Amino acid sequence: MTRRLGIAGAVLLVALIIASDWIFGGAPNPYRAPDPIAWGSSSGASGAICTFAPPTPGQ
């Protein structure tokens, strides 16, 4: 067994995540897509980012 099996496993993992999300959560809504690039558009960043810090009371 070579690493190609591992590569196939990784690609399969991604496919499973996308497929299960599609099946249980629904497909992307093409009518809610943002502008092609965020820079200079009215639809900017989503804000769903690693540095996201939920506001806490008193801070």
Partner 1 sequence: MYRGVRYALTACLGIAIGFTLERFGFGFAGPWRRLIRERQGQGVLAQCVAIGLTAIVIQPLIASSSSLLGAIAPISLTMILGAFVFGFAMQLILGCGSGTLVNAGSGNLIALVALPAFCVGSFLGTLILPAAMASTPHVAISLPETLGVPQSLLVTLLGLVALAWWATRGQGGDRWNRPLLIAALCIAALASLHVLIAGQPWGVVYGLGLWAAKMAMGLGWEPSAAAFWVHPINAQALSNSVLTDTTSLTDFGLIFGAALAAWKGAGKTPLTPMVRWWLYGAIVLAGLALGVSSRLAFGCNVGALFSGIASGSVHGWVWLVAAFVGSVGGVRVRDWLWQRATKTEAA
Minimum gap (Å) between residue 23 Cβ and partner 1: 10
- CB-based contacts of 18, cutoff 8 Å, min separation 6: none
- CB-based contacts of 34, cutoff 8 Å, min separation 6: 41, 43
With binding defined as CB under 8 A, does residue 43 bind partner 1?
A: yes
- x-marked contacts with partner 1 along 1-40 as a string, rule CB under 8 A: xxxxxxxxxxx-xx--xx-xxx-xxxxx-xx-xxxxxxxx
Phi (first) and psi of residue 31, to 5 degrees: -85, -5
Which residues of the shown chain bind partner 1 in the complex (CB under 8 A)?
1-11, 13-14, 17-18, 20-22, 24-28, 30-31, 33-57, 59
